[in-house]
Chain A
């Protein structure tokens, strides 16, 4: 999903120059306003339950809109907390057109950067899109839960790293992790199971029994859990029956 994307929007033109830290998260993470308000700031970075965030998306209803010469200030409400300030910079060189104020009472999806000034959080938006299909609002709710579960799970498996990796120095946040750890968000067990399944050339794939033969140290229930996870994430699929699996990446 898009959690892995490099966030192709790039830096908004009006934003102050960012320090080029290697650890800056490249994700764009769907969040609730309550999560953004609870995010802790360490130097230039924000963390929600230790997951680093920078670019976020929020879906909510516009409660208030105020146009100023250089920016439009909105208050966006997603019911999880008080409405959040969302600022959209206006390009003063462009005549009229580009920045039409979205009226209060409109549901929008906001993509922007989280900011904090004098302990007050706000968003600087690079995109504000009125929702045309309200099912996107439902999807956003599901995407928030999904993204945060995945990001936190990655952090759990990443935290098995040797103590020399200190937060802020390495790019451990989200999918940025490198080095000796699996970068695809899988735990060690899941990776081992997946690699074995990938290596199997026969059409009916590898059976649970064969996996157990190869992975003596893993219990059958651990193997089954790994298979279930890999299958639900789309890395593998069952073939002749629920005991046989092939990789979706197989050559």
Chain B
């Protein structure tokens, strides 16, 4: 349970999921919808692409806004969530599009932003 937090978790957008199947990743996105069972929710990334996040236990709270998920990419290119955090937006809204731009840069320059 704590293991995944001890290894590098590349920050990715929905477009990267296919390349990271089976690997631990970190995904930041906006909550689009939550399944009534609370066992799945859908996040959109900075370019509007959707990703499904699965939970081993149903959500025990309402989540909304920007969420950062740590988990493993499944064979179906969904994310099996191990933990999540909601970004605070009480003072300023989070610019998800800018974050996506930052992701493009760190994927283009892994020598200056190494994961592991």
Out of B7, B11, B98, B112, which one reaches A149, CB within 8 Å?
A: B112
**B88 lies within 8 A of A82 (CB):** no
Q: Is B20 an interface residue (CB 8 A)?
A: no
**B105 lies within 8 A of A38 (CB):** no
Instruction: Count contacts on B: residues with CB < 8 A to the other chain.
Output: 29
User: Interface-forming stretch among A95-103, A137-145, A154-162, A168-176?
Assistant: A137-145
Main SS of the interface on chain B?
A: loop
On whether A63 and B94 interact (CB within 8 A), knowing A134-B66, A134-B87, A138-B99, the answer reads no
Out of A38, A63, A105, A152, which one reaches B114, CB within 8 Å?
A: A38
How far is B115's CA from A142's CA once the two chains are assembled, in angstroms? 15
Q: Is B116 an interface residue (CB 8 A)?
A: yes
| A35 partner residues in chain B, CB cutoff 8 A | 114
Q: Is A52 an interface residue (CB 8 A)?
A: no
**B113 lies within 8 A of A32 (CB):** yes
Main SS of the interface on chain A?
A: mixed
**B85 lies within 8 A of A34 (CB):** no
On whether A34 and B116 interact (CB within 8 A), knowing A61-B85, A142-B102, the answer reads yes
**A34 lies within 8 A of B114 (CB):** yes
Chain A, range 75-94, C-beta contacts under 8 Å to B: 77, 79-83
On whether A141 and B102 interact (CB within 8 A), knowing A83-B5, A149-B109, the answer reads yes
Contact with B along A63-83 (1 / 0, CB 8 A): 100000000000001011111
Q: Is B62 an interface residue (CB 8 A)?
A: no
Chain B's closest residue to A144 (CB) is: B113
How far is B66's CA from A133's CA once the two chains are assembled, in angstroms? 13
**B8 lies within 8 A of A34 (CB):** yes
The number of A-B residue pairs with CB atoms under 8 Å apart is 75
Contact with B along A104-144 (1 / 0, CB 8 A): 01010000000000000000000000011111001001101
Q: Is A148 an interface residue (CB 8 A)?
A: yes
| B116 partner residues in chain A, CB cutoff 8 A | 34, 80-81
| A141 partner residues in chain B, CB cutoff 8 A | 102, 105-106, 113
**B8 lies within 8 A of A81 (CB):** yes
Chain B, range 6-37, C-beta contacts under 8 Å to A: 6-11, 26
On whether A63 and B113 interact (CB within 8 A), knowing A134-B88, A138-B99, A145-B106, the answer reads no
**A32 lies within 8 A of B98 (CB):** no
Chain B's closest residue to A83 (CB) is: B5
Minimum CB–CB distance from A132 to chain B (whole Å) comes to 5
**B92 lies within 8 A of A135 (CB):** yes
**B5 lies within 8 A of A63 (CB):** yes
Chain A's closest residue to B98 (CB) is: A138
**A82 lies within 8 A of B112 (CB):** no
**B5 lies within 8 A of A134 (CB):** no
| A134 partner residues in chain B, CB cutoff 8 A | 66, 87-89, 92, 94
Known: A81-B7, A142-B105. 7 other contacts (CB 8 A): A34-B115, A34-B116, A82-B5, A82-B6, A83-B5, A134-B94, A145-B106
Top 4 nearest A-B pairs by Cβ distance? A82-B6, A133-B92, A148-B112, A79-B26
13 A-B contacts, Cβ less than 8 Å apart? A34-B115, A38-B114, A79-B70, A79-B115, A81-B7, A82-B6, A83-B5, A105-B85, A107-B87, A131-B88, A132-B91, A135-B92, A145-B105
The residues of A with any CB-CB pair to B shorter than 8 Å are 32, 34-35, 38, 61, 63, 77, 79-83, 105, 107, 131-135, 138, 141-142, 144-145, 148-149, 152
